[in-house]
Amino acid sequence: MSSRLMDTKGGAGVAPEFLVSPEMLSAVSPSGDRGGMVLGSSARGEPLLVSALRPAPTRIVLVGGLYLARQVALRAMAVGAWVVVATGRPAAWQVLQKAAGTGPDGRPAPLVQIRRLSPVELPRPSEDGPLLVVHDGGPTPQELFPPRSPWQTTVYVLPYMHPQAGATANTADLVLMQRLPVGQAQLAARIWRLPPPMVQELSSLADDQVVALGRNMWERMRLVTTQKEQQILGPVRRGD
């Protein structure tokens, strides 16, 4: 896992800029410099960027609820990404299609595709059209859409930690975790070899706090949510 995926605003970036519609920018929070998504703020109040769309196959694991997963997807849309959601609960993701709006023909904009949990042909990612694949398939996801090319990022949404999720978790470039019950925090400690203070921190996070875990990186952040995002997603929360 690489700490280059995280950055404070003004630091070195690894993702380019994208042009998006004014309607999309008005619906979500500012994306940040050079395409990095502003996910939250540090304890010092500095914006923290996640360079999730980059010229390398990328894996991100989210441990928590739908709110965090949908917020990450919205912000990927805001920096010009195609978003494909593979899920067993498509109704929970319809808010993304509504946020994307409609095309000239009145049909839903193709920026967001909601699919079943089965292999499908994906859009071909590029620097001008990066691809975010959201795999919302429970705590032990199958490898249906492994990132194999530059500018493709696969996000695995884990509702909770499961002993059989270790393989998926260990191959992630970045892990974002909301508050975990003590037993699940201890399981996370075994997977990532976390010391007791970090286990305690994981089990005591506030609803609007997230820990970003990467190689040589442990960063607690507070989620930043705009009024427009709250209209789409509701208030910041943990769980589904």
Question: How many other C-beta atoms lie within 10 A of the C-beta of residue 79?
Answer: 26
Over residues 83-101, the pLDDT tens digits come to 999 999 999 999 998 888 8
Extents of the domains making up the chain: 3-233
Share of the chain above pLDDT 90, in %: 49
Over residues 168-203, the pLDDT tens digits come to 888 899 999 999 999 999 999 999 999 999 999 999
Tokens of 87: 């899920």
Q: Please, are residues 78 and 31 in contact by the beta-carbon 8 Å criterion?
A: yes
Nearest-5° Cα angle at 143, 140 to 147: 125
Hey, which CATH number is domain 3-233, 3.30.365.10, 3.40.190.10, 1.10.3720.10, 3.40.50.300? 3.40.50.300
